[in-house]
Amino acid sequence: MKITDKITWVGKTDWELKKFHGDEFTTINGSSYNSYLIRDKKTVLIDTAWLPYDKEFVSKLKEEIDLNKIDAVIALHGEVDHSGALIELMREMPENTPIYCTANGVKSIKGQYHKDWNFQIVKTGDKLGLGDSDLTFIEAPMLHWPDTMFAYMSKENVLFSSDGFGQHLASEFLYADEVDQDILYAEALKYYANILAPFGMMAIKKINEILDMNLQIDMICPSHGLIWRKDPTQIVKKYLEWANNYQENQITIIYDTMWNDTRKMAEAIAKGIQNKDKEVVIKLLNTAKNDKTDVLTEVFKSKMIVVGSPTVNNGYLHSIAGILEMIKGMKLKNKKAVAFGSYGWSGEAVKQISDYLKNSGFEVINDGFKCLWTPDEKVEKELEKFGEELV
């Protein structure tokens, strides 16, 4: 699919993808592995596709171009969803075809494929002349791997942004302005929250660095999902917002429960919050029943999280343990938190959860709420009061 006279999308749309990064990220709307073929006086290929599609990718590419005519491959990022077809591709291309990537890109690609290809290491500001246009490389470490770089194509004014500004969203369309905007932005936010959130400060720095270069950007071509063509910097502005300690007027209660006592506590706390503030969005999510990708997205949007588990074997339930570990990894700032839970005997969970949240960068605003056995009407009222006080 042609994007401009000189750029053709030669990627793979993965309609079937439901999980990504193993089972870590749920991709209910599929995804795409965007690869771009640039034909100027020189011909270069930017990125490939995920490993299971390596043969399909190469065979389709051969319908588009004689592989011997490709002068260079650009590997913006070494993760397997973009480098997976390299082995298949390089098997059919002249073996000295240069692969342009960062120094860390060499480490990641060699580490995975154990090949001594003709790597050409580039740094920020290095240019690759293509004829009428050129590609300027911009290292973007930790967005989201140390090896990541962007590339800017002059004349066409296109920024190839690797995972940055992407979405896991399969579509029959190529451009962001052609699809449902609610789904597009929900997927873009989910992508940011689950993959890029820990690197918010670096995202701000990199975006400002690119803005300071005063590049005219007519299009942003990410490695996943739709291409930003109409007002392309709209997603850049959104990233600046999301990276700046983002929060909405939302409180998210996440809990797990054994015999419904902690669930009853969660609902009573929610009632108290609602009594006090009719505007605040309240989400109740049982972490054993809800998708973890969605839970993390809701946590990312929240100004406060309320985390509950009963005490079991002197600790807390495994779905809460798992989600707390994932939340810690997000390195969120400017968020408050509190813990709660029922118990029958020892009752350590609330303090343990509070401590974990403190160590994860949350401002834990009180000692939490412990309920011995099943909350009765009196305790439910106390929980409502607890919820009101959170507001």
Q: Report how far Cα 249 is from the mean position of its chain's Cα atoms.
A: 22
Task: Let me know how long the chain is.
Answer: 391
Nearest distance in Å: CB 289, ligand FEO: 28
Interface segment toward ligand FEO; rule CB under 6 A; list 73-81, 205-213, 364-372, 375-383: 73-81
- Contact positions with ligand FEO (CB under 6 A) in 138-197: 144-145, 163
Select 100 or 255, whichever has its Cβ closest to ligand FEO.
100
Nearest distance in Å: CB 389, ligand FEO: 42
Note whether 6 binds ligand FEO by CB under 6 A.
no
Nearest distance in Å: CB 53, ligand FEO: 14
Options 224, 264, 335, 336; binder of ligand FEO; rule CB under 6 A: 224
Nearest distance in Å: CB 20, ligand FEO: 8
Active site residue 144: yes
> Amino acid identity of 115?
K
Options 81, 267, 298, 384; binder of ligand FEO; rule CB under 6 A: 81
Active site residue 40: no
Rounded-to-integer distance, Cα 308 and Cα 304, Å: 13
Select 252 or 293, whichever has its Cβ closest to ligand FEO.
293
Nearest distance in Å: CB 189, ligand FEO: 17
Note whether 264 binds ligand FEO by CB under 6 A.
no
Interface segment toward ligand FEO; rule CB under 6 A; list 78-86, 276-284, 295-303, 314-322: 78-86
Options 6, 77, 264, 283; binder of ligand FEO; rule CB under 6 A: 77
Active site residue 318: no
Residues that bind ligand FEO (CB under 6 A): 77, 79, 81-82, 144-145, 163, 223-224
Residues labelled catalytic: 21, 77, 79, 81, 144, 163, 191, 224
